Structure 1
Amino acid sequence: MQVLKVFALVLAGFWVAPSWADDCANAMDQFTLNQCAAADYATQDKRLNQLYGDYRKRLDDGQKQQLKDVQLAWIKFRDLACAFESASVEGGSAYPMVLNGCLTQKTAARVKELEQLAVCEEGDLSCPMPAQ
């Protein structure tokens, strides 16, 4: 059920993000703060999905499956960690903002990880593949 709530919030934030963009800098009420947090998360999630897809195209079949497994495990970790971190406000009006803030932060960190993997230098033995 929690996943459905988060999904609905993300979709709502995505659809209203352009109209709320100017309001986010001056948000004064919880509804607007929640919408802005959902829009921020939707932006980061879109970046992550684009980067993941682009990077995946460069991998061989075995690496693609490994990356998929890692990404699915990471998503589960992110969702569980953010549910835990926002549990103290669950049911409150600030819950969507706190949850989406956590999801945004963890997703942005994952974006940076994938960006680093996409540009590692030839000879870097800790890198799945060299930069193109």
Structure 2
Amino acid sequence: MLRNALIAALLLVPAAGFAADSDCSTSANQMDANICTGQQFDRADAELNRRYAALRSRLDENGRRNLVAAERAWIAFRDLECNLRTGFNTATPDDNGSIAPMLLGECKIALTRQRIQDLTAQIKCPGGDLSCSP
């Protein structure tokens, strides 16, 4: 229940409250650190969406289908991988503690930044273009 309230709070706080590269470890308390990490993830996710749209615009119909399928699979991978890395208990999420949203957020940020790099390479050399080298 507390976790659900925290997630709702993260969704309601505007991202403009923190600098783009703010250090969440200097937050006054755990809730502020969770909010800060959530905002950093929102910025990374927005950049990922921009790169996704840029790549999608360069692909043919088959490429777009493949991209949609790959992105759906990647999101599932990211979430499960972060559960694994952080030890997040999906069976009883309320038992994860107040630091869980921050740990999950940090993991998702790291994997999202890597995915941004991957999509950026694909923008330069979309799938099927054998004449291109990244």
TM-score normalized with structure 2 length: 0.75
**1:51-80 alpha-carbon deviations (Å, 9 max, x no partner):** 101110111101110111111111110011
Q: Alignment length, in residue pairs?
A: 120
Hey, what's the Cα distance between the residues in 2 that align with 1:5 and 1:106?
Answer: 25
1:16 to 14, 18, 33: 14
Structure 1 residues not aligned, in runs of 5+: 121-125
Task: State the Cα RMSD in Å.
Answer: 2.8
Please say if 1:101 is aligned against 2:106: yes
1:56–1:64 Cα contact (<8 Å) kept: yes
Deviation per CA, 1:13-35, whole angstroms, max 9, x where unpaired?
Answer: xx33222449x444131111111
Q: Deviation at 1:88?
A: 5.2
Matches for 1:36-115 after TM superposition, within 5 Å? 36-87=36-87, 91-115=96-120
Higher relative contact order (CA 8 A, sep 6+): 2
CA distance in 2, matches of 1:113, 1:43: 17
Percent identity between the two aligned chains: 28
Once the two structures are TM-superposed, the CA of residue 127 in structure 1 deviates from its matched residue by 4.5
Distance apart, 1:99 and its partner CA: 0.4
TM-score (norm 1): 0.76
Could you say which residue in structure 1 is the equivalent of 2:30? 30
Any idea what SS the aligned residue of 2:14 has?
A: helix
